[in-house]
Structure 1
Amino acid sequence: MLEKTFDPKSAEPRLYSSWEASGAFAPTGDPGAEPFSIVMPPPNVTGSLHIGHALNGTLQDVLIRFERMRGKAALWLPGTDHAGIATQMVVERQLAQEGNIDRREMGREAFLAKVWEWKAKSGGKIVHQLRKLGASCDWSRERFTLDEGFSHGVRKAFVSLYKEGLIYRDRRLVNWDPQFQTAISDLEVEQREVDGQLWHFAYPLADGSGEITVATTRPETMLGDTAVAVHPDDERYKHLVGKLVILPIVERVIPIVADAYADPEKGSGAVKITPAHDFDDFEVGKRHGLPMINILDAFARINENAPQAYHGLDRFAARKKVIETLQGLGLLRGTEKVRHMVPHGDRSGVVVEPFLTDQWFVNAEVLAQPAIKAVLEGDTVFLPKPWEKTYLDWMRNIQPWTISRQLWWGHRIPAWFGSDGTIFVEETEEKARAQARAHYGRDEPLTQDEDVLDTWFSSALWPFSTLGWPEKTTDLERFYPTNTLITGFDIIPFWVARMLMQGLQLTGEVPFKRVFINALVRDASGAKMSKSKGNVLDPLELVDEFGADALRFTLTAMSGAARDIKPSRQRVEGYRNLGTKLWNATRFAQLNGCAREAGFSPDRATMPLNRWIVGETVHTAKAVTDALAECSFGEAADVLYRFIWNVFCDWYIELIKPTLSGADIAARDETRAVTAWVLDVTFKLLHPVMPFLTEELWAQTSDLGAPREHQGFLMTAAWPQLAESLIDRAADAEIGLIIDAISEGRSVRQELNVPTSARPPLLVVEASETQRKAMKASAPLIAQLLRVSEVRFVRAVPAGAISYVIAGATLALPVAEFIELTAERERLAKEVASLGVEADKLSRKLADVDFVVRAPERVVEDTRERLAATEAAKSKLEAALARLLDVLS
């Protein structure tokens, strides 16, 4: 017998340990089983489980459990990413706390030994936390992006792309993070709007004939100016094009050039050009053959290319000094306050500098073309489809990808330099030396590139390198391309696009057949979660309080939202109650002798009520199957909730109580067998979303009646495949009529404030002969559940009775003696009017184009949701008022 309640704290660890120890997470070895594979987006080795991970991990587990039960060779391959910048940052901070130790003083090898030591002790915590969530990954195949096998794949990919001309080394502007001392990609730059100043400075013409005024938000970079640009059609400056100006402070003579980049409508229309410190200026510099003078060092301090007085100054101290000097020279022509976008490192939080340096790049534009074609031709499908546009827009405007990082933790670039600067790119130093020997005709000393690869370069190989590539392994042959990638929309350009590019280039196939983009998790009010705001929902705390199943169902149910989901503690608690409801229903079934019957088949049921629940189970199984197959997770959860809570627990359990306690033995036995069958099917359908509760219920009911065909874990049982021939339309209509009569009657009573103690009769006014027979047969049950004195058949609706129509039948409740009809009319009218005012207010707000365009998306969406809820409530009360007016007229 089941305990009174399910205790997730004791059951979940026990069940998970049993699953993992049994090897049930590994794909079946049956060669005839259809492969189905998912690779886990590898969380950072520094990470701990947050609510976004919980959402993404839950959806992956729902899908893999579903496909496993469908008999497929289901592989969910887990692992972690070495997370170059994040991990190095953690260990550097740790060293600083231990004794103010700088990694540069330690040296590369000693520092890396410390990182590996940290990884062994503290890294990978998140994979253990995923187990608490119920993640049924094949942990025996767990990978790490710095594993030797994976590292071999990274070296192979780099060398292959280099030798095909798709990786090259170039001196270009990059985003430079002065705190981490490394280049970062465009995607790792966060644009923040800040308050700033626009300074207007005069640059004297070299011939002494006047001056030209430029405006800038970054005065310190003028030390590296190599030109002033004006628009070729700007009449104000046409006579100055080709002339020279004297760059103040530096006293360098620079030209005035004509270039369409200069906007006549902005500032003075003349712009200073600093090719080594601005991406747009860099392009202008290339067009006009301008010198590129870098005036900053790696710490964003002024270097030796600037006047002596500025050497070693921090960039912001230099800004202040430049402004003061120009003001002293009488060259400051004005200032104005501005709000402008300033780039920051997404991890360090410091202002990023455009920095001219030698880096390694991938020719992403060439790699993008096959990846664009693959999506356009449907080789890889995005779900929901609108995210396809995000992907294509990014790919069609893709820039060279900077893949070198000035870090120590990561995949060191497999490139060696000869004494004359010749580069030798090979997978091993031995091969590089052999290449150098062939080049020089003798042995020459080589030095390996100090840089490591961008973490996203290695993680772009994840779907195939985890399966053994570049070796032709059994796993690669069986599980690649993978079937489904589930990830967040924020890393479509970071990761999804790059996996498609690398997969097609290195394997000739797309890395996954579909991409499901899950939503971003926000707090209940729609704000982005952050520790500083105190609005973070900790998934581990929620699991401890409500159990993993409750959190999983919450996230699954809400995943149908287009972009944002807003879980709350109350929602998690509510979905825990669904599990409790099913537990109680199962316990009720046990107490009433419901058990499996040997040889039982649901098509043998004869009672309309039992044939109805069998049909409802068939409908539910089909709907859940279709939804999960299409990654419509929210829809599957909605169907399950309705069936378990409303159809099975609220209606079927209530409606069978008279039969279970009645004297008809045949009816009782049939009902018991049907109930046991429905429960078994329900456990299976709910299992992917609520694996712990359902596995426990499966085990605890294993000895009820005849043995099941499947004796093992529920997670390895066969998914229900139910014939549509089990659906009985006549039974559906009959039981549907009874349920509607009760539920609609309850609504009438509630809307009109009819006291619960009142017992009016239920009048059947107009109905077909079949409906009359059904109502008559179930009259005692209807009377009990609707709290009426009797079910009576009449020819007309009497005065003072509220009528309602269900399935073409007209029913009525005489309520005049229990409520004051006029007072109820006034109350309803007042509530309808109040809701109308609120709906009108919200409608006007949404009709305001300025509000829709300028307000945060979450605020606009919340307003739409409030309007829909208000209009629905108003419509319901209007219907009640109309019924009441009919009585009073």
Structure 2
Amino acid sequence: MEPYLTTQWYVKMEPLAERALEFLTRQQPHFVPERWEKVYRDWLENIRDWCISRQLWWGHQIPAWYVVGEENTEPIVAVDEAEAYALAQERYGDEVQLQRDEDMLDTWFSAGLWPFSTMGWPEATADLARYYPSSVLVTGFDIIFFWIARMTMMAGQLTGEVPFKDVYITGLVRDEKGQKMSKTKGNGIDPLELMDKYGTDAVRFTFQSAISGAGQDIRMDYNRKTQESPSVEAARNFANKLWNAARFVLLKLQASPEQREQAFQQALAEDRLELADRWILGRLNKTIAQVHELMTAYELGNAVKLIYSFIWDDYCDWYIELVKSRFGTPTGAVAEYILLEVLTASVKLLHPWMPHITEEIWQAVAQAENTSISIQPYPTVRPEWVDDAVETNFALIKGIVRTIRNLKAEAGLAPGQPVPIHLVTASQSAHQLLEHNQSYLSLVKLSAIDLHETFPQLEEKVFAGVEGPVEVLLPLTELVDLANLRVKLERDLTKKNKQAESLRQRLNSPDYRDRAPEDLVQKSEQELHELDQQTVTLKQRLAVL
């Protein structure tokens, strides 16, 4: 084999690059993350003429024609064959014969026309006027020059505008060891297998929620022996949680839509909404506001994690559990209205990340034919519902519930075992809050609740916890065998001390800190901190006994 020299077509690039660099001085386009702008700039400042001839069987054929039988003649460049013949006949007479250049345009040349040619350019179409320039281009860092720069240069030359406002550069999905997937290494992970096992929404959610920042690579959590992914399984569990919550809400609806709307508006006008009602509506609107901010900043991973936390923690684990006792009561229709409103807004918020399950739920909730959630307005903030005082008060209730649960667990009591509890606070506002919302504490199965302004004189031993201005006391004498509990706590303390000492020795080793990955060292430090806190608590409990 030996080289075969042929005539090639080139594009002179300096004028095109200069225009693109001029746009860049005005941050057009704006790169997210910004560090990729330097790569883009370097390519433009070191531009070379571009050979666009390709010897391929498909593609856009180069629009150049040669005169048959004539040597050393200039090729005729035209929009189409009719125009080429018209130009040729002016020069060589009516009998001229033309042959088109057999080469194709470089694929990236054709792709460079994409932003405006798909909108009908060069015609002044309605689509071109409405959609061009576009908002954002989402692509990978490896084609910043091959595609992004070609589009901006050609758009600047042919339309006088940058074809998109922002360029969002994605990271790579790497394997479980953080290595780039490749056929050579054989370390690829087939997303179709994950979809078959866990569902498409779960795979989408996993990849997007793993993005800690724009352009960051993602390490795939994957076990090759079992072909399982704990992170995708967790995403599937979230989808199940949402599905079950929606099914529960729809099954519990008793009032008609008109009755629900009327009951809510009447309760709102008469200031009869419960603390939990105002809290969940405030949390929803605060979440909507934060999601808008994060999406504007292209922090898509943080946005979907915020939605996850709201749906799982606030809506499912707290609000749904608190309103279960209200079905069939005078405030039941209000609870139904809020449950449905929050569910509808939640699936709209989540739809860009998990489109399939949210579409299914929305169809069941809206009962609208021939329409889709994808064309519904995205939720917007109603600032009148955001109330920091309501959120602070409800946070105190939540904290007390968690404290009681922890005290019961430390005493070795089953979660469902009813226990008496003493709540002590000198704060008048906290006392009134607890007095008016005692029913919320029933989430932890209480046999009695006693409110005190001063510390009561109790003869029995108690476990105590503090939440804000409230001290929580759990009497032990009639509930547990104190001797057995002491043995259990001493055994737990010995175990925690051994674990803490082992971690401390590892962290004190210079070799470990020098060789171990930084994230592993940080994880070990966090584990040691938690163990130290647990040992302090265990010592306090043993001192009580």
TM-score by length of 1: 0.53
| Partner-residue secondary structure (3-state), 1:463 | helix
Contact kept in structure 2, 1:487 and 1:518, CA below 8 Å: yes
Q: 1:501 aligns with which of 135, 153, 156?
A: 153
Listed one character per residue, the Cα deviations across residues 803-840 of structure 1 (whole Å, up to 9, x for unaligned) are 54433444455679334444433332332333344555
2-side partners of 1:385 and 1:805: how far apart? 46
Shift of 1:767: 5.2
Q: Which residue of 2 aligns with 1:835?
A: 503
Shift of 1:619: 1.0
Contact kept in structure 1, 2:77 and 2:84, CA below 8 Å: yes
Q: Which residue of 1 aligns with 2:423?
A: 764
Q: 2:382 aligns with which of 710, 714, 723?
A: 723
Shift of 1:526: 1.6
Contact kept in structure 2, 1:783 and 1:790, CA below 8 Å: no
Q: Which residue of 1 aligns with 2:433?
A: 774
Contact kept in structure 2, 1:797 and 1:803, CA below 8 Å: no
Is 1:611 the counterpart of 2:278 in the alignment?
A: yes
Contact kept in structure 1, 2:397 and 2:440, CA below 8 Å: no
1-side partners of 2:51 and 2:508: how far apart? 53
1:393 to 1:878, Cα distance in 2 relative to 1, 3 A: farther
Contact kept in structure 2, 1:742 and 1:786, CA below 8 Å: no
User: What is the letter of the counterpart of residue 362 of structure 1?
Assistant: V
2-side partners of 1:357 and 1:874: how far apart? 70
User: What is the letter of the counterpart of residue 583 of structure 1?
Assistant: W
| Partner-residue secondary structure (3-state), 1:514 | strand
Shift of 1:801: 5.7
Contact kept in structure 2, 1:412 and 1:449, CA below 8 Å: yes
Q: Which residue of 2 aligns with 1:686?
A: 350
| Stretch of structure 1 that moved more, 488-497 or 399-408 | 399-408
2-side partners of 1:760 and 1:819: how far apart? 20
Q: Which residue of 2 aligns with 1:297?
A: 3
| Partner-residue secondary structure (3-state), 2:537 | helix
1:360 to 1:754, Cα distance in 2 relative to 1, 3 A: farther
Listed one character per residue, the Cα deviations across residues 505-534 of structure 1 (whole Å, up to 9, x for unaligned) are 110001011111122111233222235555
Q: Which residue of 2 aligns with 1:866?
A: 520
TM-score by length of 2: 0.83
2-side partners of 1:447 and 1:753: how far apart? 92
Q: 2:287 aligns with which of 620, 628, 642?
A: 620
Structure with bigger strand share is: 1
What does 1:206-605 align with in structure 2 at a 5 Å threshold? 296-297=2-3, 358-417=7-66, 419-420=71-72, 422-436=74-88, 446-531=98-183, 533-561=185-213, 562-568=215-221, 569-593=229-253, 596=257, 597-599=260-262, 600-601=264-265, 603-604=268-269
Q: Specify every segment of 5 or more residues in structure 2 that has no aligned partner in the other structure, as ranges.
A: 222-228
1-side partners of 2:457 and 2:503: how far apart? 31
Shift of 1:844: 6.2
Q: Which residue of 1 aligns with 2:224?
A: none
Shift of 1:436: 4.8
1:814 to 1:421, Cα distance in 2 relative to 1, 3 A: farther
Q: Specify every segment of 5 or more residues in structure 1 that has no aligned partner in the other structure, as ranges.
A: 1-177, 179-295, 299-355, 852-859
Q: Which residue of 2 aligns with 1:60?
A: none
1:845 to 1:612, Cα distance in 2 relative to 1, 3 A: same
1:560 to 1:431, Cα distance in 2 relative to 1, 3 A: same
Listed one character per residue, the Cα deviations across residues 587-637 of structure 1 (whole Å, up to 9, x for unaligned) are 222333365423445955511111111111111222223323333211221
2-side partners of 1:760 and 1:828: how far apart? 28
Listed one character per residue, the Cα deviations across residues 696-720 of structure 1 (whole Å, up to 9, x for unaligned) are 22222346xxxx9x99433332322
Shift of 1:410: 1.8
2-side partners of 1:440 and 1:797: how far apart? 116
Contact kept in structure 2, 1:522 and 1:567, CA below 8 Å: yes
Contact kept in structure 1, 2:8 and 2:53, CA below 8 Å: yes
| Partner-residue secondary structure (3-state), 1:880 | helix
Q: 1:675 aligns with which of 316, 339, 343?
A: 339
| Partner-residue secondary structure (3-state), 2:330 | helix
| Stretch of structure 1 that moved more, 556-565 or 528-537 | 528-537
Shift of 1:681: 1.7
1:871 to 1:802, Cα distance in 2 relative to 1, 3 A: farther
Contact kept in structure 2, 1:746 and 1:786, CA below 8 Å: no
Q: Which residue of 2 aligns with 1:876?
A: 530
2-side partners of 1:729 and 1:763: how far apart? 27
Q: Which residue of 1 aligns with 2:225?
A: none
Q: Which residue of 2 aligns with 1:257?
A: none
The higher radius of gyration belongs to: 1
User: What is the letter of the counterpart of residue 379 of structure 1?
Assistant: Q
| Partner-residue secondary structure (3-state), 1:297 | coil
| Partner-residue secondary structure (3-state), 1:508 | coil
Listed one character per residue, the Cα deviations across residues 210-231 of structure 1 (whole Å, up to 9, x for unaligned) are xxxxxxxxxxxxxxxxxxxxxx
Contact kept in structure 1, 2:31 and 2:167, CA below 8 Å: yes
2-side partners of 1:819 and 1:522: how far apart? 49
Contact kept in structure 1, 2:295 and 2:303, CA below 8 Å: yes
1-side partners of 2:19 and 2:486: how far apart? 72
| Partner-residue secondary structure (3-state), 1:487 | strand
- Aligned residues with identical type, % of pairs: 36
1:461 to 1:776, Cα distance in 2 relative to 1, 3 A: same
Shift of 1:452: 1.4
Listed one character per residue, the Cα deviations across residues 629-667 of structure 1 (whole Å, up to 9, x for unaligned) are 333211221111001111100111112223336xxx333
1:557 to 1:359, Cα distance in 2 relative to 1, 3 A: same
2-side partners of 1:887 and 1:574: how far apart? 35
Contact kept in structure 1, 2:421 and 2:446, CA below 8 Å: no
2-side partners of 1:548 and 1:687: how far apart? 13
2-side partners of 1:442 and 1:718: how far apart? 62
Q: Which has the higher contact order (CA 8 A, sep 6+)?
A: 1
Contact kept in structure 1, 2:419 and 2:445, CA below 8 Å: no
Shift of 1:677: 1.8
CA RMSD of the aligned region, Å?
3.5
1:531 to 1:887, Cα distance in 2 relative to 1, 3 A: same
Shift of 1:464: 0.3
User: What is the letter of the counterpart of residue 372 of structure 1?
Assistant: L
2-side partners of 1:594 and 1:685: how far apart? 26
1:491 to 1:726, Cα distance in 2 relative to 1, 3 A: same
1:813 to 1:825, Cα distance in 2 relative to 1, 3 A: farther
Q: 2:305 aligns with which of 638, 651, 666?
A: 638
1:679 to 1:423, Cα distance in 2 relative to 1, 3 A: same
Contact kept in structure 2, 1:783 and 1:791, CA below 8 Å: no
What does 1:128-147 align with in structure 2 at a 5 Å threshold? none
| Partner-residue secondary structure (3-state), 2:129 | helix
Shift of 1:792: 6.1
1-side partners of 2:177 and 2:141: how far apart? 21
User: What is the letter of the counterpart of residue 625 of structure 1?
Assistant: H
1:766 to 1:520, Cα distance in 2 relative to 1, 3 A: same
Shift of 1:461: 0.6
Contact kept in structure 2, 1:523 and 1:536, CA below 8 Å: yes
| Partner-residue secondary structure (3-state), 2:166 | strand
Shift of 1:439: 5.5
Shift of 1:559: 3.4
Count of residue pairs the alignment pairs up:
515
